[in-house]
Chain A
């Protein structure tokens, strides 16, 4: 499980700079699908990028299965990053590599080579996301939804315990969004991988998340089960995100 404890992230000078995250504490249970929702600039991307240490928190702890990961560096950091794979809003695929080579990249990153076994596993993963026949294509030949499925296959090649989704469906049309969300839900059910979904869309949270954390101006303003928060949103941010306010007021 991931325990985020009193996390602060400040850009610029510590005392005068802007707080992107202020005293954020969240527990994420294994096997959960948790949504982290907030308006643009609420700090949700910063939070998820702190979890896999693409950004270093200014202070606070991120405890994964009892170990504080904030201080990790070198090989330990790289091994940890494979435990928390990530998918991105604009997919982050390598445009000069084939779909198969993209999915094989985590093996290359981990061991410096790609074995025949790795390639066979990558093809299985591509089959899982329904794109086995696209293995030899390049990302530019795929639609956005297909590219995100390749990115999911690549994330799975890390054999992760957690998958971080940073606005993974925000660039996609509703049909592709549903495909991606279903895929994430099925993977969660079948493998028990924990999924952390960053989004500004309550629709996404409603479809796949069990628990939700509402961020506003870098602070956690509400958290609980999706059923509870949807039934009785208390924070202003949650009310706006659920469109429970008179927009014309």
Chain B
């Protein structure tokens, strides 16, 4: 058994390691970019909603439509349909870099909705009390809303990363590499089930790590419960 494992590691270790690296890059880079866009979008969606701090029904409706339209595309359809755009922006539509535009385009609106929801959970009276202290809208956002929503935002990071991990498998299959690509190529096309299982195990571990780390951080930054 041990010998078999060692032989397996010898033959496929490098492949799986490379795949893991590619997956992690595809996970981290587009998510970081998406958070810059998604946080801004989410804050604007929250602020411009009816009855919020800066109600602006038209802007809110237009942004809402844009977000909903981006979120309507199944990721694989979005990725294929924007290939010409990706070529213009990145110079290529394949490889890890080629996955960045479609991943950002589908992740940013997702994050925007998560952020909007996290902000909406902040009690109304806390926000009004801060306004009543004479805080400007940027001050309310940066010194009150975002810090108050932090535990929820951190939990949102876990949900987002795990969703993006799912997208990277799809992106991988279209030529970007990564664990999803390995699982499909070896498991589906070559009937090498053990390679597919190894890739799945690594994916499961990545999901568990993301969720556990985010849970710990969320608890650490949350002062709402005693002790």
Contacts and interface: CB of A to CB of B under 8 A. Distances in A.
B130 A105 contact: yes
A52 B139 CA distance: 18
Interface residues of A, number: 31
Grouping DSSP codes into helix (H, G, I), strand (E, B) and loop, the B interface class, with mixed when no group exceeds half, is helix
A214 interface: no
Interface in A50-97: 52, 54, 78-82, 85-86, 88-97
Nearest to A105: B133
B147 interface: yes
Interface stretch (B61-69, B100-108, B206-214, B218-226): B218-226
Contacts of A79: 134
Given A79-B134, A81-B134, A140-B223, A108 B143 contact: yes
Given A79-B134, A81-B131, A140 B125 contact: no
Contacts of A108: 135, 139, 143
B221 A85 contact: no
Nearest to A151: B129
A180 B131 CA distance: 23
B128 interface: yes
B132 A86 contact: yes
A92 B150 contact: no
A154 B134 CA distance: 12
Interface string A105-125: 110111010000000000000
Contacts of A54: 128, 131-132
Contacts of A154: 129, 133
A139 B132 CA distance: 19
A151 B225 CA distance: 19
A230 interface: no
Contact of B147 (A90, A96, A110): A96
Nearest to A98: B223
A141 interface: yes
Interface string A129-162: 0000000001011000000000100100010000
Interface string B78-106: 00000000000000000000000000000
Nearest to B147: A96
A25 B144 CA distance: 35
A93 B126 contact: yes
Contacts of B133: 81-82, 85, 105-106, 109, 154, 158
A96 B134 contact: no
Contacts of B3: none
Contacts of A52: 132
A88 B131 CA distance: 12
Contacts of B221: 96
Q: Which of A78, A90, A92, A151 has the most CB of B within 10 A?
A: A92
Contacts of A78: 134-136
B148 interface: yes
B226 A109 contact: no
A110 B225 contact: no
Contacts of B129: 86, 88, 91-93, 151, 154
A111 to B, nearest CB: 10
A97 B222 CA distance: 10
B125 A88 contact: yes
A89 B125 contact: yes
A125 to B, nearest CB: 13
A141 B227 CA distance: 8
A92 B128 contact: yes
B131 A141 contact: no
Contacts of A91: 125, 129
B123 interface: yes
A158 B131 CA distance: 12
In the A-B complex, list the 6 residue pairs whose CB atoms are closest, starting with the nearest: A92-B129, A109-B135, A78-B134, A92-B125, A138-B223, A86-B132
Interface of B: 123, 125-126, 128-136, 139, 143-144, 147-148, 150-151, 221-226
Given A80-B134, A96-B150, A140-B223, 13 more contacts: A78-B135, A81-B132, A81-B134, A85-B133, A86-B128, A92-B128, A92-B129, A94-B147, A95-B223, A96-B147, A105-B130, A109-B130, A158-B133
17 contacts: A54-B131, A82-B134, A85-B133, A92-B125, A92-B126, A94-B126, A96-B147, A96-B148, A96-B224, A97-B147, A105-B133, A105-B143, A108-B139, A109-B133, A110-B134, A151-B129, A154-B129
